[in-house]
Amino acid sequence: MSEFLDVFRRPDFIPLLVTHIELSVVALLLGVLIALPVALAVNRSPTLSAIAINIGNIGRAVPSLALLALAFPLLGFGFATSLVALTALAIPPILINASTGLRQVSPQVMDAAKGMGLSGAQILGRIQVPIAAPIIFAGIRTSAVQVVASATLATFVGGGALGQLIVLGFQRNQPAIQIAGALAVAVLAIITELLFGFLERAFTPKGLRVARKRRGK
Amino acid sequence: MIEFRGVSKTYPGSARPVVKDLSFEVLDGEICVLVGPSGCGKTTSMRMINRLIEPSSGEILIDGEPNTAMSGTKLRRKIGYAIQQIGLFPHRSIADNIATVPQLLDWDKARIKGRVDELLELVGLDPGVYRDRYPAELSGGQQQRVGVARALAADPPIMLMDEPFGAVDPINRSRLQDEFLRIQEEIRKTIVFVTHDIDEAIKMGDRIAILKEGGVLAQYDTPEEILTNPTSDFVTSFVGADRILKRLSLTRVSEMELEPANGSGEGLPTLSDRLTVRDALSALMGAGVGRGVVEGEGGRRLLTMEAIEGLTRGARA
């Protein structure tokens, strides 16, 4: 047990944890910054939206490890390679949910908004985005949890992060290190899930929460 | 005044027009009902007024100005818009829904709040109770009322209403229609009202435009004229075989010129002059007599079959 706790007191534990969080946060942020504008841009065209959703679906089918393997020959070892691969992993769920969510706003609501004189940008910003917010956030949450979990693999391309502990444990045949590393990743993923679950609720407009509760009855 | 001048609409890739050479005028303060079977272009015609759809040819003038004189969004903020499925914004409170256009027009907050409460009162919803609720918490009928209030928010002189009472049960629909007619007495808007229901058209319209398939105007007239003198077989069949009875339901007994009953009313049934002529006729027939005594502000008067027939004289069979 003390052997196990010692892992968390290792001088490299905190830096590895920080790298893991850094890598995840930056990758998620980049994913949001790429996927959201694309979803907003294609929203007006059913064809482009369908293409975006399909690209997202294909993207989701590619395993994280394969993404790393693809980025490695191009960018070599290091943080950047991991970041690119994780960003690529973060994009699809956000892109899919945002594109679908924006298009799911009912045609009557869209017609009423247009008929009352809202401009295209106003319809997007004041009507579509708030109504789609819970779906968009659900996509970001999926991405976030996936990125945090997959950042573990960064160690294979020299990206550091908590995966390094797991690999180390293997190499030295010290299960305590291995388990401590895995546990740290799991806890981080759960915290991420809870945090984004909270954000999702916070960003769901009250009227939609009320509607959801009513429907649930 | 809204003026259609030779308006046609053909969608790209379609050979047949949905609206064909439509010309008519909607007078200020009147409810003009566009009615017809599905595919007659009534909704398309309405949507060309606020340019949700652009005509292929012809033009629509509003108070003498082509509706293309300003941008579509600017035009639409000046025209109230209410639709069948209501389209309330689910994420916005009732007050914010109603405030949509005033907010676009940058009214100050106090003015908006005052207007919202005034409109909620007008449509019969207590502002204190409903202002901060959300659409999902309201019944269908209440949502329809909010939809009408929202369309009226910036006090537009013109309102477009596409089957605004379509999504509620018949009893509620009738109540909403009555309420809306009462509101219209007060606000005197120029209204273009779309429905597929001839009875609703007769009840709501000061004037009715009957459209037939292909978007051709079959007849444009007052409900009385359309029921008494339909100009084509299409209109005759569209208004129904009971058109004479429908015509009678447009008049109340109190509006008829009747002889005083004097002493001749002995033994005849007594009717209220608030009845429609149709209901009065039904009562007379139920009693198995050809005459009855009407009681009301005009004193005791005699209602006869001849007087009823006089209302529909000139009607072609």
Q: What is the pLDDT of residues A1-19, one digit of tens each?
A: 677 777 777 778 888 888 8
From B207, B226, B241, give the residue that closes a domain: B241
Q: What CA–CA distance (Å, rounded) separates B149 from B146?
A: 5
CB < 8 Å to B44, chain A: none
Q: How many CA atoms lie within 13 A of A135 on its CB side?
A: 20
- Interchain proximity A116–B150, CB inside 8 Å: yes
Q: Which pLDDT does position A167 carry in this prediction?
A: 82
Residue of A nearest to B84 (CA): A108
Provide, as residue numbers in chain A, all residues whose Cβ is less than 8 Å from the Cβ of B52: 111, 114-115
Taking the C-alpha atoms of residue B239 and residue B201, their distance in angstroms, rounded to an integer, is 10
Q: Do B134 and A210 touch (CB under 8 A)?
A: yes
Confidence band, pLDDT 50/70/90 cuts, at residue B314: low
Which residues constitute the domain of residue B296?
A: 248-311
* B19 and B63 inside one domain: yes
Tokens of B264: 């001749």
B293 and B235: one domain? no
B287 and B156 in one domain?
A: no
User: B154 and B286 share a domain?
Assistant: no
Strand-pairing partners, residue B212, are B216
pLDDT score at A1: 65
Q: Enumerate domains of chain A plus CATH numbers.
A: 2-211 (1.10.3720.10)
**Alpha carbons B152 and B147: distance in angstroms, whole number:** 9
Q: How far is B100 from chain A (nearest CA, A)?
A: 8
pLDDT at A216: 67
Q: How far apart are CA B67 and CA B71, in angstroms?
A: 9
- Put simply, the answer to whether B76 touches A116 (Cβ < 8 Å) is yes
Q: What is the CATH number of the domain that holds B13?
A: 3.40.50.300
- pLDDT at B279 > cutoff 50: yes
Taking residues B224-242, report their average pLDDT.
Answer: 88
B235 and B258, same domain (yes or no): no
Q: Are residues B259 and B235 in the same domain?
A: no
**Residue in B with minimal Cα distance to A133:** B91
Q: Shortest CB distance from B91 goes to which of A108, A119, A208?
A: A208
Smallest Cβ distance to B91: which of A108, A112, A131?
Answer: A131
| pLDDT-flagged residues of chain A (< 50) | none
- Residues in a beta bridge with B66: B61
Which chain A residues are within 8 Å of B152, Cβ to Cβ?
A: none
Which of B193, B217, B241 delimits the end of a domain?
B241
Structural domains of chain B, count: 2
Q: How far is B153 from B40, CA to CA, in rounded Å? A: 30
CB atoms under 10 Å from CB of A19, counted, come to 22
Q: Point out the residue among B50, B85, B134 whose CB comes nearest to the CB of A207.
A: B134
From A70's Cα to the closest Cα of chain B, the distance in A is 43
Contact list in A for residue B87 (CB cut-off 8 A) is: 106, 108-113
Answer whether residue B317 shows pLDDT above 50: no
**B-chain residues near A108 (CB < 8 A):** 83-87
Confidence of residue B252 (pLDDT cuts 50, 70, 90): confident
ipTM: 0.81
Closest CA to B156 of B61, B76, B63: B76
What residues of A are in contact with residue B161 (Cβ under 8 Å)?
A: none
The answer to whether the CB atoms of A206 and B134 lie below 8 A apart is yes
CATH number at residue B284: 3.90.1280.20
Same domain membership, residue B253 and residue B237: no
